[in-house]
Amino acid sequence: MGSVIDYFACPNCGQDAFSDFYYKTGEEYVHCSHCGYHHTAEIVNRNKPLNKLITEDWKFTTITNPYGAFKLRFKGDNAATCGSMRTEKEWNRYKAAVLSSEANNEIDHFSLSRYVDGVFHYFVYNGTDFLEVIESTDTQELSES
């Protein structure tokens, strides 16, 4: 399958968002790792030829006002898992699971990035708790660091 990867200004926070568009199927996956904005267009009925698909054969998901974007990487892993937190309740569940888990010493990096009222807030797990490490309204400064 072929895809076109692109970066564009996130409609929520203005930072770079990532788009992976599969030109053979029309599917698209969009994610902003700065604020958690998320959009997907996925085929759910793969039993039909592409030219016979109707709206019901697709699943569209958009998170326009997320709680934040998370990044999780375990020690020894080359890649991280990234995604969106929809609500504060969801974030609190993740935090509680990390803080109470015996596997938390296997975590190399776990962070949350939030965009609230034009301000970015970053929370990073330090091995025992989550600390707020940056608060800035200068988006140019953030994209260069």
Residue 131 has a pLDDT of: 85
Per-residue pLDDT tens over the stretch 69-116:
999 988 889 999 999 999 999 999 988 888 776 666 788 888 999 999
Q: Check whether residue 33 and residue 81 sit in a common domain.
A: no
Mean pLDDT of 116-141: 75
Do residue 103 and residue 140 come from a single domain?
A: yes
Do 133 and 72 lie in a common domain?
yes
Output the six-digit token pair for 38. Answer: 């998320």
Domain boundaries, position 34? 4-63
> Which percentage of the chain shows pLDDT scores above 70?
88
**22 plus 90 within the same structural domain:** no
Considering the domain architecture, whether residues 78 and 139 belong to the same structural domain is answered as: yes
Same-domain status, 47 and 104: no
Reported confidence tier of residue 138, pLDDT bands at 50, 70, 90:
low
The verdict on 38 and 73 lying in the same domain is: no
**Do 73 and 87 fall into the same domain?**
yes
72 and 139 within one domain: yes
* Residues 134, 87 share a domain: yes
